[in-house]
Amino acid sequence: MSIIRLPTSPAPSNWPADVAGVDGYSSSSNNNNNNNDNNRETSRQEQPNSSWPSDSQNSSISQDLLSRMPFFMDYYTNTLCPSMVFIDGPTNPFRNHILQLAGSSPSLQHAICALSACNLRMRRKLSLGRDTHELTAALMAEKRAAESVPDTSINDQALSEEYQHRNIAVHLLNQQLNDPSKASHDSVLATILLLCHYRMVESGVAKFHTQFAGVAKIISMRKSQGISRTDEPGWMEGLFTHFDAISASINNRDTQLSPASGGMVPEPQLLSIGAENLVGCDRELFKTISKLGRLNLLAQHRPVQAPMTPSSLDEELNRSHSPFGPSLGRVHRGSISGMVVQNEGFNANNHGRFDGNGFGGMLDDEEMMATAARQPGAYEYHRSAFWKEWKEARLALQNWQFDAATVAANLPGSPSQGQMRDLGSLSEAFRYAALIYTERLANPALPSSHPNFQNLVSQVVYYATSLEAGSAAEKFLLWPLFVAGSECVNELQQNIVRTKCRGMMSRSGYMNSLSALDVLERLWASDLKESGARSPGARLPLNAGRRGPFNWAKCIGGAGIDVEWIMF
């Protein structure tokens, strides 16, 4: 295979390469993307454009690579697109909108090909029938070996082809981000979205927090340019918001795309109408779930974006807010590490404090401690804020009801009774998983075997097993299963979670299910949960307070770990 290797252009100084979800890999092309909103096609395209790849790419990229692009575009159209939504149909945005944008976006074309190639590769791996541990080890070894050599030197031709498409997509995306007139184009969001899906197919472990911070910046730029979220791209922005919230809840951080960040719209519009078809969760219920990451940080007295001001909490400061007795914060008082901070948002001229990848990151522990020490009443502020918001979230979760008629009216086509029943069960699984989450925040020392947890775990398992055999709703179950699985002490229920995760993985080819199951297997096989050692009211170790109350925090994240797990 002959490829003309051209110098790579660096990512923009204020954009990390991992905004594209590829952790800063180089690329093998330097083509420019001359997208322009005025040239957007208006006709719907359901099949790959026969002119793909565009002629402008042919002089710098292997003809062998280009010749197979129509195959990968067809695979995306006919295999991946139907699997990315609950109900497929003519309005599936992954097909009609993404392919419309790809018609004039080489970066998006290569992102589609990378995603397709990766999904095909993972399905081949799964067909070999390896067990979870063996497959995980094999994939990690393959990834390390492949990333130690240039993409064109990888022995596995299929893997080499996949990496070339991925790296070309990132290279072209960085060129767009370098140009303010192109950085806010619809195709940029679409390319990042598919590269996020690429990472979920590959492993579900990547620097998602920097990607979402970059998306927040793009959305802020779009707003400043008057690009309304009521247009078609709204579905992509909403999907990023969902990814971000789910990732934040697992990875011990606040959301990057919350209303307070300046990168998104007010709370009532977090997800667009009909978003249930894209995320599998009732959009009203999601409003509460999206706050869980923030609630987790408040419980640990760590910095959060602050929709409330201290004056709004004055009347609360002198009252006990815990329905269970002493405040959660009092158990961890020795590990207070921050204060509520106001996020300044992202915009082209205000870089604020950026992490090593170029986007706003959290203050380090020492700086948070120093900041907290300078703020009178910071501890009481967090204590009051946590219990106030905890009670609001708990009440919202307890009162929520699935409105089948309203949801059905906004889904494509005419959903069957079975489909609506499955979507209702799926949303219930999300609800009970969120209740488990809030229960753990309120009771960080309570063993998983306690009825408070086991009753809720049983509800998640019940609704997860209520779905019809082969239901399209099952692919959205990963977050509820992971949260419930982390508190599973019953072997039968563990086997159900294990079977569900393996089933989702085999049907979708998305290896984020494998990564989630690997964490759960380590929890189940070890004494990490320390359930036998905990007793109600017991004081947790200092490092447990720093990393949060959840069992999975002992297997993922922590000092020096700059990647995140996404459970979607």
Please provide the size of the chain in residues: 568
pLDDT of residue 345: 33
pLDDT per position as a tens digit, 254-294 = 888 865 444 444 454 578 889 999 999 999 999 999 999 99
Tell me the percentage of the chain whose pLDDT exceeds 90: 49
DSSP H/E element including 137: helix 132-146
Residue 267 DSSP one-character state:
G
One-letter amino acid for residue 100 of the chain: Q
pTM, whole model, 2 decimals?
0.78
**Cα–Cα dist 232/216, whole Å:** 17
Tally of CB atoms within 10 A around 470: 8
Q: Is the pLDDT of residue 427 over 80?
A: yes
Lowest mean pLDDT among 38-47, 108-117, 158-167, 391-400: 38-47
Produce one character per residue of 483-519: b if its CB has 16 or more CB atoms within 10 Å, e if not: bbbbbbbeeebbebbbebbbebbebbbbbbbbbbbbb
**Whether the predicted pLDDT of 534 surpasses 80:** no
Query: What pLDDT is stored for residue 40 in this prediction?
Result: 36
The predicted structure's pLDDT at residue 331: 30
Given pLDDT bands bounded at 50, 70 and 90, which one contains residue 310?
very low
- Residue 497's pLDDT is 97
195-214 mean pLDDT: 90
Determine contact, residues 255/244, Cβ cutoff 8 Å.
Answer: yes
SS3 43: coil
pLDDT beyond 50 at 44: no
CA distance 543 to 546: 5
For residue 415, what pLDDT band results from cuts at 50, 70 and 90?
very high
| Cα–Cα–Cα angle for 182, 184, 190, rounded to 5 degrees | 100
Where residue 52 falls among pLDDT bands split at 50, 70, 90? low
Closest among 141, 248, 139, 133 to 524, alpha carbons compared:
133
Quickly state the pLDDT bin for 558 (edges 50, 70, 90).
low
> Would the pLDDT of 538 be above 60?
no
What pLDDT shows up at residue 210? 84
Q: Which candidate, 178, 157, 166, 151, places its Cα nearest to that of 11? A: 178
Q: Could you read off the pLDDT of 109-163 as tens digits, one per residue?
A: 999 999 999 999 999 999 988 887 888 888 888 888 777 777 667 788 889 999 9
Going by their DSSP bridges, the two strands 564-565 and 205-206 should be labelled as antiparallel
Give the per-residue pLDDT at 325. 33
**Cα–Cα distance between 394 and 392 in angstroms, integer?**
6
pLDDT in tens, 99-110: 999 999 999 999
Confidence of residue 207 (pLDDT cuts 50, 70, 90): confident
